[in-house]
Structure formats: structure tokens, C-alpha cells
């Protein structure tokens, strides 16, 4: 077991780009121990002036779309241009055991060995939206360590993906052709949020179907309101396995950055995201303090039993617990 470092030692190591120190700091942000939370908060405050300079990209899509392969190829393309890339790959957790596979380093073997890249798999825990509860903190630590592009891979759970959109600058949706009726199957909400749609696996016998799906999505997007960013959301075809279309996608991302920086959408979006982070943190801290309160712990079992037996309305049960919490904390 590693000896605990001081706040200054963590700060110096991160700013020097030391990957081991960065990994350990991210582990601290994922911990639920109070002493780790205090230490992580101090580290983040120290490195805050060195954050915010990276381009944050969220990548999502249905299971089987090839997200890991796509991210590896995109990451290699970006590092070939001389930019440092950090990948925060989120693995789904089991609701029963809380465990996760955390196999993204295996799936991205080439990128994992790239000295210009850093891959950090994290478990979602019980959070929604396919993101880990400490993803934002991990992102800031990676930026402070000098990574210029942050790629966040979500599990593609199909719900609450607004959390990913709410912490990234650019949101890329990966889709497949030939997996049913693309237009009927696509969720309007997530499609409207996407800054770009990429039809992956546009190769071999699937190429014609992918190009047909691309045309269908382009027609469908014309029915949506014009994006606030001022960037016309492109729909492209690509093949991660053949490494085709990847350079074009990166060019679109850079064009988005240029347009949104010129019209001030980029900075305004970042400011709104910081406020959303604060509000999310308030809700999360209140919930943690609520369930950790000794009086709530003592009362909770009896209240749950009354609700399951149908003796107490869930809303009334919640009000009882909240009244108790407020009374004991005032």
C-alpha cells in the first residue's frame, strides 16, 4: 500500500504530469471516506488555476457500436498530431454487487501504450447517465496534468445522457446501421443533444446501409431547431476498424471549437456547466448527509417496512424522514 502523500506532493506530481500521482489523485476523488474527500478537495483547489484548457468530448452510443475501438483510433489520431489525450472510460456497475469489468485498457491496448495518452477506467457506481460520480473531478485533474483533449466514454445507457452533455464541450453520438429502423429507434432527446452523429462500421457489406442511414439522419436533423452553438450538426460515416473517416471527425470537432469560441458559446456553456456542477453537488451532499445521519438510520428500517406493507404512503414516509432530519440538524 502506498504511503499517503501530502496535498503539496499530489499537486506537484500532477502539475509535473506524473501519471502515477494522477491515478492516485483520481482514486481519492472516487473514495467515499471522509478523509479522502477532504484531501481530494484540497488537491482540486490547488490545481484549479491550471484547468480548463482542454477540449472535453463526450462519446456515447448503443452497446455494440464499437465505442472503445472508435475512441482508440480517434485517440491515436489526436496524439499523432502532437496532442496529449486522456480517456475517462466509464464501465457499468452491477446493481447487485457494485462491481464492474473495468476492461477498457485491454480493449484500447495500442492507446494504453501511447506515452501521449492516459486511460482511466472508472465504475459508474449507482449514478445515472453512464458517468461515474467523480468524472468531473477526474477531468480537471487530467487537465492540470497537461492533457489537451479529454475523451469521456459513457456506457450508452439511453437515459439521463444529459449528464454527459452537461460536462463536455462536444457531444458525439455513435450509431449503427442495420440495427432496426434507425429513425424510429433513435431517441429524439439524445439526438438533439448531439453535436455530431457518426455512423460507425461503414465498411464491407455494411457500407451501403451505413450511407443510407447517414442520409436518413441528415434529413431528420433538418426538422430539429437550430443549435444554440451556431454549429450545424454534421452526420458522417466512419469505420474505426479500417480507420477511415476519423480525420474528418476530428476536423469537425476543431471547427466546432473555432465557431463556438468566436461566438462566445464555448465560454458561456462552460460557465453554465460549473453552476450545474454546484447544484448537483448540493443534491449529492444533502442525500449523503441525510442517509448517514444516525437518527435516519435508526428510523429508516421501520419506515421502509411500513411502506412495503402498504401501511404508509411513500410520500408521507419521505416527509416523516425529512422532518426528522431537519429537526435533528437545526
Please answer whether residues 199 and 210 qualify as being in contact, where contact means their C-beta atoms are separated by less than 8 angstroms. Answer: yes
Please answer whether residues 242 and 204 qualify as being in contact, where contact means their C-beta atoms are separated by less than 8 angstroms. Answer: no
**How far apart, in whole angstroms, are the C-alpha atoms of residue 2 and residue 4?**
6
Q: Which residues on neighbouring strands pair with residue 151, listed in sequence order?
A: 57, 87
* pLDDT at res. 187: 57
Place of cell 489520431: 77
14-55 confidence digits (pLDDT tens): 999 999 999 999 999 988 888 999 999 999 999 999 999 999
Q: Which of 218, 251, 249 is nearest to 235 (CA)?
A: 218
Note whether 51-263 and 276-329 share their fold: no
* Angle 264-269-275 from CA coordinates, rounded to 5°: 135
Q: What is the largest CA-CA distance in the chain?
A: 67
Q: Which of 184, 153, 151 is nearest to 65 (CA)?
A: 153
Instruction: List, in order, residues 6 or more apart from 236 with CB less than 8 Å away.
Output: 196, 197, 198, 199, 214, 245, 248, 249, 252
- The full 3-state SS of 85-147, as one line of letters, equals EEEEEEECCCCCCCCCCCCHHHHCHHHHCCCCEEEEEEECCCCCCCCCCCHHHHHHHHHHCCC
Please answer whether residues 124 and 101 qualify as being in contact, where contact means their C-beta atoms are separated by less than 8 angstroms. Answer: no
Sign of CA dihedral 269, 273, 274, 279: positive
Q: Looking at domain 1-50, which CATH architecture does it have? A: Up-down Bundle (1.20)
Sign of CA dihedral 204, 209, 213, 219: positive
Q: Which fold has domain 51-263?
A: Rossmann fold (3.40.50)
Q: Which residues on neighbouring strands pair with residue 170, listed in sequence order?
A: 57
Class in CATH terms, 276-329 = mainly alpha
Residues of the chain scoring pLDDT < 50: 93-103, 125-131, 159-160, 180-185
Domain ranges, ordered by start, for the chain: 1-50, 51-263, 276-329
* Angle 25-29-33 from CA coordinates, rounded to 5°: 115
Distance from chain centroid for Cα 270: 15
Please answer whether residues 199 and 177 qualify as being in contact, where contact means their C-beta atoms are separated by less than 8 angstroms. Answer: yes
* pLDDT at res. 259: 97
Amino acid at each position: 500500500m502506498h504511503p499517503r502523500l501530502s496535498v503539496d506532493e499530489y499537486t506537484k506530481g500532477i502539475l509535473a504530469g506524473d501519471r502515477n500521482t494522477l491515478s492516485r489523485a483520481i482514486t481519492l476523488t472516487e473514495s467515499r471516506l471522509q478523509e479522502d474527500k477532504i484531501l481530494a478537495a484540497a488537491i482540486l483547489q490547488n490545481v484549479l488555476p491550471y484547468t480548463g484548457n482542454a477540449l472535453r468530448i463526450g462519446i456515447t452510443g448503443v452497446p455494440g457500436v464499437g465505442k472503445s475501438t472508435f475512441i482508440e483510433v480517434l485517440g491515436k489520431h489526436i496524439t499523432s498530431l502532437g496532442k496529449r489525450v486522456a480517456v475517462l472510460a466509464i464501465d457499468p456497475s452491477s446493481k447487485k454487487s457494485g462491481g464492474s469489468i473495468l476492461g477498457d485498457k485491454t480493449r484500447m491496448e495500442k492507446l494504453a501504450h501511447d506515452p501521449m495518452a492516459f486511460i482511466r477506467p472508472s465504475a459508474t457506481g449507482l449514478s445515472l447517465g453512464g458517468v461515474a460520480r467523480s468524472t468531473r473531478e477526474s477531468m480537471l485533474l487530467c487537465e492540470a496534468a497537461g492533457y489537451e483533449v479529454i475523451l469521456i466514454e459513457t456506457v450508452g445507457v439511453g437515459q439521463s445522457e444529459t449528464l454527459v452533455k452537461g460536462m463536455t464541450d462536444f457531444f458525439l453520438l455513435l450509431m449503427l446501421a442495420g440495427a432496426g429502423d434507425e429513425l424510429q429507434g433513435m431517441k429524439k432527446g439524445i439526438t438533439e443533444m448531439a453535436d455530431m452523429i457518426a455512423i460507425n462500421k461503414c465498411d464491407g457489406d455494411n457500407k451501403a446501409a451505413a450511407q443510407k442511414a447517414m442520409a436518413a439522419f441528415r434529413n431528420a436533423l433538418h426538422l430539429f431547431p437550430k443549435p444554440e452553438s451556431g454549429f450545424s450538426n454534421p452526420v458522417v460515416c466512419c469505420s474505426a476498424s479500417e480507420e477511415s473517416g476519423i480525420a474528418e471527425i476530428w476536423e469537425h470537432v476543431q471547427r466546432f471549437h473555432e465557431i463556438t469560441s468566436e461566438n462566445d458559446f464555448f465560454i458561456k456553456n462552460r460557465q453554465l456547466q460549473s453552476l450545474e456542477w454546484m447544484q448537483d453537488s448540493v443534491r449529492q451532499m444533502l442525500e449523503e448527509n441525510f442517509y448517514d445521519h444516525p437518527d435516519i438510520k435508526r428510523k429508516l428500517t421501520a419506515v421502509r417496512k411500513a411502506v412495503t406493507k402498504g401501511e404508509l404512503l411513500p410520500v408521507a414516509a419521505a416527509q416523516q424522514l425529512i422532518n426528522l432530519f431537519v429537526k435533528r440538524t437545526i
